[in-house]
Structure 1
Amino acid sequence: MPAATQELRRILDKKVLKECVHCGLCLDYCPTYRVLGHEADSPRGRIYQVRQVYEGKVAPDDADFREHIYACLDCRACMTACPSGVNYGAIVEAARAIAEPISPSEKTVGRAVLGSIFTRKPLLDIAGMGLRVYQRSGLQSAVRKSRVLNVLPHRLREMEAMLGPTQGGIRRYVAPRMTRARGQRRFRVGFIEGCIMPQFFGDTNAATVRVLAANGCEVYSPPKQCCCGALQMHTGDRETARELARRNVDAFGPLQLDAIIINAAGCGSTLKEYGHLLSDDPQYAERAAAFASRVKDVSEFLAAIDLVPPMHPVPLRVTYQDACHLVHGQGIRNQPRKLLKQIPELELVEMKDSDVCCGSAGIYNLTHPDVSVELLDQKMEHVLATGASTVVAPNPGCSMQLAYGAQRAGVDLRLVHVVDLLDRAYRGNV
């Protein structure tokens, strides 16, 4: 039996595969099935293929198996639709842990980039600063107006086009190690900065800390925290994800926190799975489970407490994009909307299919651009139909993807996080 098959049996309980009764109720909810139309690119079809590998009937290096496993967005819409409660996310991530990607782009982005840059803050800082200089200096604008990009391969031109505008100054935002609560302290919370958020969305991170403090939270952000491991998990690099999980458990463990706050949906979904990810590690299993139990998305946390009422009006018409790993991965749907509805003069207009993937899906827009763009174009059609000037998106990947969609459509569209609007409602037009 191949070693990869043995590894699959070690990390995935067969009873999870048997929970699927092949009813097909997931098919209409699966974006890749709707776009590609192949049974093998549906949740039911992929579970069947994983079971074939599990039972030794198909080799783990089979090209068709690998192709269909990596064609999945891992959006988990099927889990919301499934009446049997099949943990499809665990199945596809276990399969990717033993199935080497086929395409060069998946191997390059999924292993070299995620394994080197995202796990090392100094390298990520250099890359992030380079991007901000590229944008702030006017070089990006000049390059796009010239014909320089035309000499690049099509894929590189698309990747450059996906570089949405970054927030803040030349240097990345660094959250203070400790921020005192405004007024009486009600909670003691940790804040996970993330790796993409400080580089691209520093203003949102700063707003998160301010909004938490305004609601009586003493906020701690330990300097030894690191990347959560979400992108590594999605691309099958389970061991790197486990090591990152250990580092975060060590960083936050001694702080005695009421909650650990995250403002990026994809990160939050992975952080909440640390208990499962490290369940076989005798030194970390108990601590990882305790860590995971305290993780809260910022909207989940704020909606559950007695929110300090926002006083300043924010006269905007907005629509809300449900991030897949928030609505399907964590079951958080109403909480962000509840917060938005408490902001004076803010008009929330729901878009059609708000909980269908926008096509970002981690690095999917880089590895499967054709499917990604088709999903993005569908999403932009629904966004524009609302007449909203602003889209609220609770995940950095969604924000960058939708900014790219606005650029493709030639429209002026602002992308914000729920906490950006709450912060404005607390502080006024500052």
Structure 2
Amino acid sequence: MSSLEKLKRQLNYDKTFDCVQCGYCLPACPTYETMGEEKHSPRGRINLVKMAGEGRIGLETLREPLEKCLGCRACQTVCPTNVQYGEILEGAKHALDQNDTKSRARQITEDLIFNKLFPSRRWMNTIGNATWFYQKTGLQKLAGRIGLTSLAPLNLDKFEAVLPAVPSPMERSKTPNFLEARTNKKLRVGFITGCVMDSVFHQTNKNTIELLSIAGAEVVIPGSQTCCGALHAHSGKMETARELAKRNILAFEQTDVDYIVNNAGGCGAMLAEYHHLFKDDEEWSTRAQRFVNRSKDVSVILSMLDGLEFTKEINEVVTYQASCHLTHVQKVTIEPKALLQKIPGIRYKEMKDYDRCCGSAGIYNIVNYEDSMDILDLKMEKAKQTSAATIVTTNPGCLLQMQLGIKREDLEDSVRAVHLIDLLMEARPVFKRETNGQISALPFEGQAYELMNE
């Protein structure tokens, strides 16, 4: 195979011919809206990939346009010819990674982040515990007061300021590996804890497990699961992404569950496309497809169980910022809003372009901070038009981004951002118990999680 043929294969060059350059993707693309250049549109990027595959431009020409892409996949939803933009994007990023001449320092940094940090539950737990210590001891307030946080690289001080309160190491250690259904069991599900979700948003994970239990699901949390591999795949490190996928497939094959549940739109999108990682491996492709068929967002499972009622009114105007990957990859659009509107007192007001990217996009808002803030500012203008007191989302990156937007707009005293699961828990869910043929709704007081650790 010639070097050009090998490059074409890496780039998924054949898929670029599905694009007829019609331009339907342009109005859906956040970076085209804010940057206004063809190379920052989906069709422009596809054309560049095609040209690189034909040897008409150098591969390095792709780097800046691709790194500026959010990967939100909104273009796929509106595309009339079903162009698989996600596969083209990841293929091109893989080709860039494989053909990149990296310095020794960059190799060490990437190895630390992609091979040591994110796949390691121990390291992610350490980060969570260190964050708790930083917050609990007052170091966070002190660092902010004397200006130390401003020395952080990549504008990390902006995100540090909007991190949620992290539970103590003792509370985090109480995570069970199994939780029985609190009512008559309807399903047996496995739960994906995630990396960032479990280290920084542990309370949301805890609430997810409890809500599933209340609604009638038996929940299994395999200890051998690992990072979903999304960050690796989106950075072109496909070999590592495949290895992480294999570990998760193996972990959940041993659980005998009906569904595999996640509560993070970005992670869920990666899980939903595991089969694409193994297109040249028949055995793992089949196993990955079985995994994909069972992988569901928590909102889908809660809606399927239909076992939740809520007893506390939340008398607020609420709007919804949809996770791009939940919407455009997992194709989940109805269930989150339907669950929201079951909460008594809610006055739901839909944000214009609620399904357009907020600019978070994994670590995009860190490595492309200014571009991300341009997109966030547009989003916040639309959020303010709803007069909502609560902005709900379903992904940790989106949640931090919206909290940052609230801070940038100086709305911290009047507006909050919250994960859908946490708002459902705030509304005091009840579970139903059947006794002698009679169904009665009993109040839930947050005991299920602790009961499994007695």
TM-score, normalization by structure 2: 0.87
State the distance in 1 between where 2:124 and 2:219 align.
24
Residue identity opposite 1:402 in structure 2: M
Give the match for residue 189 of structure 1: 189
Residue segments in structure 2 that go unaligned for 5+ positions in a row: 430-442, 447-454
Q: Which residue, out of 60, 68, 72, partners 1:71?
A: 68
Q: Which residue, out of 159, 162, 165, partners 2:159?
A: 162
State the distance in 1 between where 2:6 and 2:140 align.
45
Give the match for residue 423 of structure 1: 425
Structure 1 position 116, deviation (Å): 2.4
Give SS of 1:219's match. strand
Residues 43 and 107 of structure 1: CA distance in aligned 2, closer, same or farther (over 3 Å)? farther
Structure 1 position 118, deviation (Å): 0.5
Structure 1 position 112, deviation (Å): 4.1
Give the match for residue 356 of structure 2: 356
State the distance in 2 between where 1:417 and 1:67 align.
32
Give the match for residue 390 of structure 2: 390
1:124 is aligned to 2:121: no
Residues 109 and 362 of structure 1: CA distance in aligned 2, closer, same or farther (over 3 Å)? farther
Q: Which of the pair has more CA radius of gyration?
A: 2
Give the match for residue 93 of structure 2: 96
Residue identity opposite 1:422 in structure 2: L
> CA offsets, 1:398-419, max 9 Å, x none?
1111112222222223222222
Structure 1 position 12, deviation (Å): 5.6
Give the match for residue 54 of structure 2: 55
Structure 1 position 354, deviation (Å): 1.1
Count of residues in Structure 1 that have an aligned counterpart in Structure 2: 424
Residues 310 and 385 of structure 1: CA distance in aligned 2, closer, same or farther (over 3 Å)? same
> CA offsets, 1:8-51, max 9 Å, x none?
43356544211111000111111111111111111001001111
Structure 1 position 318, deviation (Å): 1.6
Contact kept? 1:111, 1:237, Cα under 8 Å: no
State the distance in 1 between where 2:159 and 2:58 align.
36
State the distance in 2 between where 1:351 and 1:108 align.
43
State the distance in 1 between where 2:174 and 2:383 align.
32
Give SS of 2:309's match. coil
Residue identity opposite 1:68 in structure 2: P
Contact kept? 1:8, 1:94, Cα under 8 Å: no
State the distance in 2 between where 1:228 and 1:283 align.
20
Q: How does 1:366-405 map to 2 (within 5 A)?
A: 366-405=366-405
TM-score, normalization by structure 1: 0.92
Root-mean-square deviation (CA, aligned residues, Å) is 2.4
State the distance in 1 between where 2:390 and 2:2 align.
51
> CA offsets, 1:75-130, max 9 Å, x none?
11111111111111111011001113799999887664233211122222222222
Give the match for residue 22 of structure 1: 21
Structure 1 position 186, deviation (Å): 0.5
Residues 108 and 317 of structure 1: CA distance in aligned 2, closer, same or farther (over 3 Å)? farther
Structure 1 position 337, deviation (Å): 0.4
Residue segments in structure 1 that go unaligned for 5+ positions in a row: none
Structure 1 position 165, deviation (Å): 2.4
Give the match for residue 226 of structure 2: 226
Contact kept? 2:12, 2:92, Cα under 8 Å: no
State the distance in 1 between where 2:44 and 2:242 align.
28
Give SS of 1:218's match. strand
Give SS of 1:391's match. strand
Give SS of 1:284's match. helix
